Amino acid sequence: MAQRALIAGVSGIVGNNLASHLVSKGWEVYGLARKPQTNIPEVHPVAADLLDPDSLQSALSGIDPTHVFIATWLRQATEAENCKVNGAMVRNLLNAVDSAEGLSHVALVTGLKHYLGPFEAYAKTKPVTPFREEMPRLPYENFYYTQEDEVFAAAERRGFGWSVHRPHTIIGYALGNAMNMGVTLAVYATICRETEKPFIFPGSPQQWEGLTDVTDARVLARHLEWAGTSEAARDQAFNIVNGDIFRWNWLWPKLAADFGIEAAPYPGHKSPLESQLAGAGPVWAGIAAKHGLAEPDINRLASAWHTDMDLGREMEVVTDMTKSRLAGFHDYQPTLGSFLDLFARLRGDRIIPA
């Protein structure tokens, strides 16, 4: 049977990289979003709102996916609202494909807030690292848990296989994304170079000095395909990170060197990007005009709030990959390469100056 993927959230950092990977492997790919935007001509766009069941049913009529990949969410003011809205999005989508005869697998992408807690209860329970999949849920409302439960209920009803994927901070190509550290740091480094401001690590002493890891969006894409086609991965939750560990005090100077600048000495405390980049819109617009860049709106590129949250953690965050390795997934990606490959693509697409 031909493999036919429906990707919910195709315009995001996960969905876009997954679509590119699946197309390269010969899959038929449908990309769902409210306003689907993709740089991949082979992807069939599906415009629908996951909170509008009627429009969703109509948009998905006749597609009959073999695999559904859910890589989207909407941030709300409270976690209770996050649970309500994001749970409904998953439920509506799975109801809309309930009659798909060939549906064999549903994959859900969540993240390490499964272990760290939601935004409003973040790290209130002291995390024990490295994070392992068998760790119990935390005693807080968490929309990741709500989304999982919707997938489990639909799988029980329909009999398809499922997988849950828990990446750390995702590094990869996407524009207009709410959680995009790689592009945010590229914009920050460019502004520092162009304005001769110091390139200061914005995070906590614990992040500067401690061990951590990240997830390349390309590795996550391969992990999603693997889980969707491997019997060993059926009905399992998996962590997914690059496979190496690093310290920011090692990586930061290397990122600076790629932009032809020096890393500023670490001041010993947080210097949040939200403050550093406040009011930087006109500065970026001027840089874009000077270099003929494709995107003059800094808000389409930088997500300072989320980068500050990741780099501002006051605890070690390290993720265990043993479960995936034992089940047969052995891909590995050096983290420095994740950033440098992304920066090279951003230059090639005129998102940042060459």
Which tens digit of pLDDT belongs to each residue from 131-146? 999 999 999 999 999 9
Q: What is the mean pLDDT of residues 70-78?
A: 95
What pLDDT is stored for residue 42 in this prediction? 95
Residue 336 has pLDDT above 80, yes or no: yes
Q: What's the pLDDT band for 109 if we cut at 50, 70, 90?
A: very high
Could you give the CA distance from residue 170 to residue 318 in angstroms, rounded to a whole number? 14
Residue 106 has pLDDT above 70, yes or no: yes
Are 108 and 150 contacting, i.e. CB atoms less than 8 angstroms apart? no
Could you give the CA distance from residue 10 to residue 125 in angstroms, rounded to a whole number? 33
Q: What's the pLDDT band for 121 if we cut at 50, 70, 90?
A: confident
What pLDDT is stored for residue 277 in this prediction? 96
Residue 174 has pLDDT above 80, yes or no: yes
What pLDDT is stored for residue 119 in this prediction? 79
Picking from 215, 212, 214, the residue whose alpha carbon sits closest to that of residue 247 is 212
Are 255 and 171 contacting, i.e. CB atoms less than 8 angstroms apart? no
Residue 82 has pLDDT above 80, yes or no: yes
Mean pLDDT score across all residues of the chain: 95
Lookup result for tokens 């500065």: 283
What pLDDT is stored for residue 231 in this prediction? 97
Residue 1 has pLDDT above 70, yes or no: no
Structure tokens at 96: 């809309």
What pLDDT is stored for residue 37 in this prediction? 73
Picking from 129, 117, 151, 346, the residue whose alpha carbon sits closest to that of residue 237 is 151
Catalytic positions are: 113, 144
Q: pLDDT of 183-204, one tens digit each?
A: 999 999 999 999 999 999 999 9
Please give the residue that has the higher pLDDT: either 125 or 223.
Answer: 223
Structure tokens at 204: 């906590």
What pLDDT is stored for residue 176 in this prediction? 80
β partners of residue 247: 211
What pLDDT is stored for residue 71 in this prediction? 97
Could you give the CA distance from residue 247 to residue 344 in angstroms, rounded to a whole number? 22
Q: Torsions phi, psi of 35, nearest 5? A: -130, 80
Picking from 271, 270, 302, the residue whose alpha carbon sits closest to that of residue 285 is 302
Residue 283 has pLDDT above 70, yes or no: yes
Strand order in the sheet with 236-240: 44-47, 28-33, 4-8, 67-70, 105-109, 161-167, 236-240
Residue 217 has pLDDT above 90, yes or no: yes
Q: pLDDT of 37-56, one tens digit each?
A: 767 899 999 999 999 999 89
CATH number attached to the domain at 4-167: 3.40.50.720
pTM: 0.95
Domain segments of the chain as ranges: 4-167, 175-212+245-317+333-348
331: Cβ contacts below 8 Å, ≥ 6 apart: 219, 222, 223, 243
Residue 179 has pLDDT above 90, yes or no: no
